Amino acid sequence: MLGKFFQKPEAAESDRVPPGQYLAKGFPVLTYGEDPQISTEEWQIKVWGKAKAITFTWGDLMAMPQSNFTADFHCVTHWSKLDVQWTGIKVTDFMSQVELEPNAFYVMEHSYGGYTTNLAIADFLREENFFAHTVFGEPLTIEHGGPMRLVVPHLYAWKSAKWINGLEFLEQEDLGFWERNGYHRRGEPWAEERYSS
């Protein structure tokens, strides 16, 4: 596994690489199934469930404050990439336009193509989470989730839905695609929350 595609972290970086992870060379792509082809004109994201239903277009998100983010990215299949540079919209800025109900305790992320992944509301509303449309100064390619994905840096990257198109707020916890297939409901890399027990 080490060698061509992975390397051991340098000492200076090792405290940033969670247990059981290796640094990837380049930026690997990890997708289950086909890549959905969505133009910015047709892209939209719907909010429903324990929130006032609302739909945002590409233009709506471009009109929100735009921020730069540097974040480490940890895939549960043991590769990490440090200092990924993104541009997009903070989840907290986006959520200032959403009216949550008091019993919105969980959220299901939905994507074009049918992918889903679940979060507790506190994991979703963190300051460092964002919707990304740009990575390393270039528009997000389709394989990396373009035109728009979510990024949740503090959890394994399967929680960072590519081609995101929906947020379903829930009172009861529900499980997304990988979580139904044996992965951990939360997925915190420093605690190695890889699989459900």
Ligand X SMILES: Nc1nc2c(c(=O)[nH]1)N[C@H]1C(S)=C(S)[C@@H](COP(=O)(O)O)O[C@H]1N2
Nearest-approach distance from CB 156 to Mo ion, in angstroms: 6
Nearest-approach distance from CB 52 to Mo ion, in angstroms: 32
Interface map 58-87 toward ligand X (x if CB under 6 A): -----------------x------------
Q: Find which of ligand X, Mo ion, none residue 5 binds, CB within 5 to 8 Å per kind.
A: none
Nearest-approach distance from CB 147 to Mo ion, in angstroms: 20
Residue whose CB is less far from ligand X, 48 or 177: 177
Q: Find which of Mo ion, ligand X, none residue 187 binds, CB within 5 to 8 Å per kind.
A: none
H, E, C per residue of the chain: CCCCCEECCCHHHHCCCCCCCEEECCCCCCCCCCCCCCCCCCCEEEEEECECCEEEEHHHHHCCCCEEEEEEEECCCCEEEEEEEEEEEEHHHHHCCCCECCCCCEEEEEECCCCEEEEEHHHHCCCCCEEEEEECCEECCHHHCCCCEEECCCCCHHHCCCCEEEEEEECCCCCCHHHHCCECCCCCHHHCCCECC
Contact positions vs Mo ion (CB under 5 A): 30, 75, 157-158
Nearest-approach distance from CB 52 to ligand X, in angstroms: 25
Tell me which stretch binds ligand X (CB under 6 A): 8-16, 45-53, 153-161, 189-197: 153-161
88 forms beta bridges with 67, 132
43 binds ligand X (CB under 6 A): no
162 binds ligand X (CB under 6 A): yes
